[in-house]
Chain A
Amino acid sequence: MTLLEFAATGPGTLFVLLLGLLVLAQLYLVLISLELEERRRATASRAMLFLAEALVFSTASASLHRVLENGQPPQLPLGAALIAAPVWAYALAAALVLLWEVWDVLRLRQLRRTGLSSLSVKESLDLLPAGIAFAREDGTPMLVNLRMEAVCRAILGTPLRDAEALWRRAVMQRLPESSEAEPVLRYGQGQVVAFRRTKLAGMDPPCVQILALDRTEEYAMSRELTARNEALRALGERMSAYGRMVDELTREREILEAKIAVHDGVGQALLAARAYINDPERHDAETVLELWRGVNALLSGTAEPAGSGEDAFRNLTEAAAAFGVEIRLEGDLPERGPGRECLITALHECITNTLRHAHGSVLWVRLEREAGETVAAFSNNGVSPEGPVRETGGLALLRQRTEAIGGTMTVESEPEFRLILRVPGTAETRGEEKDGR
């Protein structure tokens, strides 16, 4: 039986309708394939199948209409051939197409569950707790997630139209403790957000990625930590000051013990003197005098100003003078702190050099204050070095010590030896440090 003969019957009409439904189902598959951004070849083959089905169905149904309704022969030879084809061939083709379409539907459903489309990328970005935006280099946004939109609204008051404008605002209004490379911004009701901007390599056109990471909790914690550290540092300083006080107390205890020794000496001398006066014949006047000389010597020692000999600078000056080197100091040394320590070490080094190598008699120390720092220049009137001064031993140690406290050291060999040190702290900081203690 041909298609034409079958179509003239009641079930034949239904059969033709069924063929039409199969064509529509194929169209649906093509649309789904486009939506899911399936591979081009797969989409194209679905479309080709649809076109073929549509061509066969429309030509056959038009020809059936002409023959059955109008009593005219088919217009095209293809139409005549199609309606003359046996029904079983159509039934077989329809069964195959149906099977194919059912299989394809299942495959596309699987793809929808596991595959990625641009929509699913956006959906997943929206789920991120961080704000993220991809934009062209001129700031035109390409993909922006919901979080970034919210951050942008809170900061700029508008949706994200220019990613570069948002970045510039973040850099300009960043918290002082953050860097330009990763600006941290406080906005709204105390929220804190850190921005990061990365150029994406290998993109055409060139793209940037801007991230906005929520740092509200970390910021609050770091502030608390800073406050705690400050309290600890203050405690540390008090402890250190206490250590110094203990040293003073120790020295005082030693003085007290020495005074007791003097007291005992005086007592002994008095006893000896009384014994001598009572019975000069039996006692040696020289022994008594020796005891008194000892007491006198001790007492003259106690008359020295308290704390004498504690000034390392003065001690070095005296040591240099003892070997014929006069120290000429211009300016003031810092009264305490690591800067002073460094300068004392430098003076020691320069005295040694003046004595050993330069054989000079004057060592100049010129000190100048510059913005919270002391700049010291050491030079002498001795023989200039024959070549560049090598930084070994004491000079190497001095450089290490100077740089460790944030200072700088320069050694000049020509026209004469000059050592220049720049160290933190000036003579004026003394008052402030004392007040602060």
Chain B
Amino acid sequence: MEDRIRVLIVDDQSMSRRLFELYVASSERYCLVDSIGSAIAADIYCRQIRVDLVLMDVLMAEGIDGLEAAERIKSVSPGTKIIIVTSMPEVSYLRRAREIGVESFWYKEASPEPILDIMDRTVAGESVYPDAAPVVMIGTARSTDFTDRELDILREMTTGASNAQIGDKLGLSGNTVRNYIVQLMTKTGFTTRTELAVKARVLGLVISGDETGSR
């Protein structure tokens, strides 16, 4: 067992964890260190014992999100390789994962390669990232039609923040925020900002960092 690659699974959904456990068990190259339901404890495992590879979900019900946990793991155990696994098309996840130094990124439903393939390639030293987040339609617009700034504003809108609060957070004036929102509504064809925010959140196009852990 010592020669095998030691894997830690972090996912708050038992069914997901079970599926990943089965993948790990099905391969002789890997052995399971543990399978845990909260990202907050992940760095404790990586600090205390040898963990070669972590399969990490992003959106957690409580504590910290998977990307924050990945950052902590990288600081306490830089040799541990991490694969982010998510079903959310939120574009900022890809960018944040790269910034943190996460090795690979896998979309649960949209990535064509099987997870075991990604695990093998990651362990072999490759960094496997999809070219882009999955494209989703929101109203009459495609998720790729938005600028980064528009997505920042949309992300804050999903928290129910006012224009002034969004402006404070992003360093913009209330009027600029309003103009961006008008642009977003023109692109998507929605008539109210609530409708737009709800749809964006349902699709997982934008997910505010404030949400994880606020429950």
Please report A residues at the B interface, Cβ cutoff 8 Å. Answer: 229, 232, 235-240, 242-244, 246-247, 249-251, 254-255, 257-259, 261, 294, 297-298, 300-302, 304, 306-312, 315-316, 318-320, 322-323, 336, 338, 341, 344-345, 348, 351-352, 355-356
Contact = CB atoms under 8 A, between A and B. Distances in A.
Nearest to A351: B44
B40 A258 contact: no
A310 B15 contact: no
Contact of A319 (B41, B159, B194): B41
B146 interface: no
B19 A250 contact: no
Given A316-B38, A320-B44, A247 B61 contact: yes
Contact of A315 (B36, B160, B214): B36
A214 B44 CA distance: 62
B136 to A, nearest CB: 13
Nearest to A261: B19
Contacts of B13: 251, 254-255, 309
B34 to A, nearest CB: 7
Contacts of B21: 297, 301
A308 B37 contact: yes
A320 to B, nearest CB: 7
B190 to A, nearest CB: 15
B41 A316 contact: yes
A239 B47 contact: no
B36 A319 contact: yes
B44 A304 contact: no
B214 A240 contact: yes
Contact of B17 (A246, A309, A356): A309
A247 B65 CA distance: 13
B18 A302 contact: yes
A240 B197 CA distance: 11
29 contacts: A235-B160, A236-B160, A239-B194, A239-B197, A240-B159, A242-B198, A250-B87, A250-B88, A251-B13, A254-B13, A257-B109, A297-B18, A297-B22, A301-B19, A301-B21, A302-B14, A302-B18, A304-B18, A309-B11, A310-B12, A310-B61, A315-B37, A316-B40, A319-B44, A319-B45, A323-B48, A338-B214, A348-B40, A352-B47
Nearest to B203: A246
A344 B201 contact: no
Nearest to A236: B160
B74 interface: no
A406 to B, nearest CB: 16
Contacts of B160: 235-240
Contacts, number: 146
Contact of A298 (B22, B61, B194): B22
B59 A250 contact: yes
A284 to B, nearest CB: 17
Contact of A258 (B12, B19, B214): B19
Nearest to B162: A232
A79 B84 CA distance: 122
Contact of A310 (B22, B43, B62, B201): B62
Nearest first, the 9 A-B pairs at minimum CB distance are: A309-B37, A301-B18, A236-B160, A239-B160, A312-B63, A315-B38, A319-B41, A310-B61, A258-B15
B41 A235 contact: no
B211 interface: yes
Interface string B174-205: 00000000000000000000100110011010
A261 B60 CA distance: 23
B215 interface: yes
B33 to A, nearest CB: 10
Given A341-B213, A344-B63, A294 B22 contact: yes
B208 interface: yes
Contact of A244 (B14, B15, B87, B215): B215
Given A308-B14, A352-B44, 7 more contacts: A242-B198, A243-B159, A246-B201, A254-B13, A315-B63, A318-B41, A348-B44
B19 A310 contact: no
A261 B108 CA distance: 13
Contacts of A294: 22
B174 to A, nearest CB: 13
Interface in B16-71: 16-19, 21-22, 25, 34, 36-38, 40-41, 43-45, 47-49, 59-63
A5 to B, nearest CB: 94
A199 B34 CA distance: 72
A72 B40 CA distance: 127
